[in-house]
Structure formats: C-alpha cells, structure tokens
Amino acid sequence: MTDQIRVRFAPAPTGYLHVGSARSALFNWLYARHTGGTFVLRIEDTNEELKQDEFIDAILEPLQWLGLDWDEGPHFQSERTHLYVAAIEQLVADGKAYFCNMSREQIDARCEADGLPSGYHGFSRDLGLPDSDDAVVRFRVPDSGTTVVDDSIRGRVEFENANLEDFVIRRSDGSPVFLVANAVDDADMGITHVVRGEDLLNTTPKVQLLWEALGYGPTPTYAHLPLLVNEARKKLSKRRDDVSLGEFREKGYLPQAMLNYLALLGWGPNDEVEIRPIEEIIAQFDLADINKGSAFFDTKKLDHINGEYIRMQSAEAFLADAEPYVSGADAPWPEANYSAEVFAALAPEVQTRVAVHSEAPNFVDWVFADEVSYDEKSWKKGIQKAKMVPEIFEGVIAKFETCDWTADTIKDAVFGVGEELGAKSQVPVRVAVTGRNFGIPLWDALEAMGREKTIGRIRSAQAQLDT
C-alpha cells in the first residue's frame, strides 16, 4: 500500500510532557486515525543527557493517560546512532560535508577580523581538514538555489540556500545532531507527513537538504502547527508557564476534556459543535483545515469544558474521581472526621458545581471540619447586610433543639422562622454554618452533620455578632 499515511510524534525527552507537545501528538494521532494511517512514536534522545528512563516515562505515561495510542514504537534514536553515523560518513565521502575544528570563539574572532557579520561563512569548507578529536562535521549548503518546503497548512515556503549556513551535523564528541537523525529516520520509517510545531519550520530546509544529499527521493509533506502561546502571546515554555500535563491530571482534569479542548486550538469543526466525542473529531479532522495563527492556551475555557465533562459523568464515576481529593490526609479537615457515606450522599450536588475534581473538598469542607472560619465577604453580605439576624439565630436554635433531625424538618424549621419574622433566613444560617454565602443545599448536609455541631456553629456565629 503505497499511499498508506504514516505520521510520527517525535519528542525530545527533556522533562515532563507539556500541553504544546500533547497538542502536536494529538494532531498527529487525529490525522492517523482519520486516514486509517499509522501513528509512530519516536523518542529523540540523540543527546547523551536525554537518555534517561524517567524522562521516557514522562512522555509515555501522559500519552497513555490521554488515550493517544501509538501503532509503532517507541523507537529510540539512541539505539540507532550507527545509522546516523553511517549517513554522515557517506556525506563526507561524497564531499557533501567536511570537517571543521573552529570553536565558537574562533569563528566570532574571524568574523570580526574579516569585517563579516557574525556567522560561520564556510570558513573550513575547502581546507580539506582531517578528522580529529575536536572536529565537527559540517554540511556543505549549496551557495545558490532555493529549498522549498511543501506545507499543507502554510503552502509553499521558500528558503534561499544562500541564507543558510554550513550547519553542524556531527558534534565534536562524535554524536550526530537531530537534523541528521530526523532525515534518516523519517526516510527509514517511511514517514509521509511530518506534523509538528511551527518553531521547527526554519529547521526544515536543512533536513530537506540532507534528505536530498542522502538520495532519499521525495520528501514528506510537512504541516507546521500554529504555536500555543501564553497570555503575553509568547510560545509556551516549561520554565515560564504552568503547562505540565501531569499537573492538570493531578488537579482532576479529565483526559477526554483535555483532548477535546486541545483539538480546538488551531482547529475547529465547521458545524460549530465544540464539545463532542473524540470519534466525531476524528471524522471531521483534516490537516488542511488547521489555522495558521497562534492560539492562547486559555484555562478558563478548559475549565468550562472540563466542567461539562464532569457533569456528563455518571454519579459513580464522579464519586470515584472525586474520592482521592476528599478521603486522603490532604483534605482540609481531620482525616478521622471524613465519612465516605456522607460524601457519597452529597456528591451529586457537588458534581454540578465543580470545574475540576480537586475542587470537591471546597464544597464539603464545612461538613467534616471541626470549626469553620467565616469568609469575610460572605459575612458582610450574608450577615451584616441581612435583616433580623439575631432573631433568626434565636428562633432557629430554639427549633433545632427540639425538632426531629431530618433534612425536611431542618428545612421547615429554617424557613418557618423566616416566615414568622418576615425575613430571609436561609443565607444567615448558611453563613453561620458553612462560613460562606454559597454552596450545596444545606438540609441533607446538616442532617449528616448532626444537631449539636449545627447548633454549635450558630452559637459561635452569635458570639461573633456581639463583638
């Protein structure tokens, strides 16, 4: 099958996988699934420092979490070095590459001496230097002509060869650089479409020049994706931006929601339905429809989409996902106070209110905590600005002391006092008991919390009132 599509995701293992890389992986995967092609995973660990198992896991694990399954690989470039070395030897033998022993400093000094703008200028090109311990191999870039990158997102992108330097293809320690590994592997693995970030567009003519010099035939089609940027519209960076996929996972984002959101960055369905199953996205996806402009990674919208996915979860699934955030020692209350039954009963009300699972404790903390602290704004709005608060507290306490302790009777007691006094009684009670003027319905939660604890909370609010 000659027109079988083959794409690859080829990250360098430089730490955790971030959302930008995940988006590249996703678009490759979508294209493979859309066309019935093959998705190859390749780890670009050409650099000695990058060959570490934990770095590899940092890539594989998030991909698995997202459900981006690969059909081939992972191939490791560190295990294929002999192929790149052979390619470099061939280029040298053919006179298409040569040895150079100039250091960066020497190059700069030479430029200054010759009054040239900084750059390499092919200084050692025709010196016929031998290989040596401190020598690099440089590729002989043609002096004239144009290298054309065929990009299915950007069209034909032309680079004048005269603007390209004789770039290094083998380091002085003998290791090949990624440009060589790229050409060799893409050829060897039969890659038909290279889908990756736009930050690599400028390296593409170099790879194509190598490709041609190595006699590999037609080059793959490229698709350089628009960059994902931060609020300042700068390329997302691990150092600056909070973009670790693992962190999103820890906060309780769902992989399906993350995938759905990522698919909407640089691409969009033309029927304007944004939140939809991945199968529908696969069906509609095409490289030709990808945007050119960079996209802001907006966690507000991610939160909204994640919230929608949470609301689509079954009660059981939600409970299972929220459970780790409320049952452990990290929860904001004494661990011994926690009751799985109580949380399970309240969970459906929590489910409509959270954007991510890690927010779950914020809605039930007051039920399990010994004491509650009053949110300043809530106190002001719900107590200070409310009418007849002392009377409401008096009346509610009196009823609470004697009434049956069920959700219904609790509700009747609170509303009853409000009616008798002609005032709204729920919010003051809510603030007194939960510390806030918003949250899940009180009644079931109060029943679970118990009569004494509830009355105690209102009493301490009364005390606050007097001070």
Partner RNA sequence: GCCCCCAUCGUCCAGCGGCCUAGGACGCCUGCCUUUCACGCAGGUAACACGGGUUCAAAUCCCGUUGGGGGUGCCA
Q: Which of residues 433-452 bind RNA (CB under 7 A)?
A: 437-441
The span of 25-33, 125-133, 231-239, 452-460 binding RNA (CB under 7 A) equals: 231-239
Cβ atoms of 30 and 269 closer than 8 Å: no
Instruction: Count the site residues for RNA by CB under 7 A.
Output: 86
Sheet architecture: strand order including 136-139: 97-100, 136-139, 168-170
Q: Which two tokens stand for residue 51?
A: 């060959």
52-91 residues in contact with RNA (CB under 7 A) are none
- Would you say 319 or 414 has its CB closer to RNA? 414
Cα dist from 234 to 18, 128, 231, 294, whole Å = 15, 43, 7, 9
Is residue 51 a contact residue for RNA (CB under 7 A)? no
CA–CA gap between residue 278 and residue 69 (Å, rounded): 13
Is residue 12 a contact residue for RNA (CB under 7 A)? yes
State the burial class of residue 451 (Cβ atoms within 10 Å of its Cβ: 0-12, 13-18, 19+): middle
Return the SS3 of 362. Answer: helix
CA–CA gap between residue 278 and residue 26 (Å, rounded): 11
Q: Which two tokens stand for residue 21?
A: 């890389």
Quick one: which of 82, 93, 95, 104 contacts RNA (CB under 7 A)? 104
SS3 percent helix, strand, coil of the chain, rounded to 5, is 50, 10, 35
Cβ atoms of 168 and 136 closer than 8 Å: yes
Smallest separation, CB 326 to RNA (Å): 18
Q: Where are the alpha helices (DSSP H) in 67-114?
A: 81-93, 104-114
Smallest separation, CB 166 to RNA (Å): 9
Total residue count of the chain as it appears in this document: 467
The span of 29-37, 213-221, 336-344, 426-434 binding RNA (CB under 7 A) equals: 426-434
Smallest separation, CB 325 to RNA (Å): 17
* DSSP single-letter state for residue 435: S
Helix (H) or strand (E) holding 452: helix 451-466
- Would you say 34 or 235 has its CB closer to RNA? 235
The span of 82-90, 248-256, 320-328, 432-440 binding RNA (CB under 7 A) equals: 432-440
Quick one: which of 57, 64, 116, 233 contacts RNA (CB under 7 A)? 233
Cβ atoms of 343 and 333 closer than 8 Å: no
247-286 residues in contact with RNA (CB under 7 A) are 264-270, 272, 274
Quick one: which of 291, 337, 406, 464 contacts RNA (CB under 7 A)? 291
* DSSP single-letter state for residue 49: G
Is residue 289 a contact residue for RNA (CB under 7 A)? yes
Quick one: which of 22, 97, 229, 281 contacts RNA (CB under 7 A)? 229
375-404 residues in contact with RNA (CB under 7 A) are none
Smallest separation, CB 162 to RNA (Å): 9
Q: Between 320 and 359, how does the x/- string for binding to RNA read (CB under 7 A)?
A: --------------------------------xx------
Residue 97: name the closest of 126, 133, 118 by CA: 126
Quick one: which of 20, 62, 220, 226 contacts RNA (CB under 7 A)? 226
Q: Between 292 and 311, how does the x/- string for binding to RNA read (CB under 7 A)?
A: xxxxx-x-xx-xx--xx--x
Q: What is the CA radius of gyration of the chain?
A: 31
Q: Which two tokens stand for residue 55?
A: 């770095």
Quick one: which of 185, 198, 365, 444 contacts RNA (CB under 7 A)? 198
CA–CA gap between residue 262 and residue 22 (Å, rounded): 8
Quick one: which of 52, 109, 190, 234 contacts RNA (CB under 7 A)? 234
131-190 residues in contact with RNA (CB under 7 A) are 134, 136, 154-155, 157-160, 163, 165, 167-168, 171-173, 177-178
Is residue 362 a contact residue for RNA (CB under 7 A)? no
- Would you say 54 or 466 has its CB closer to RNA? 54
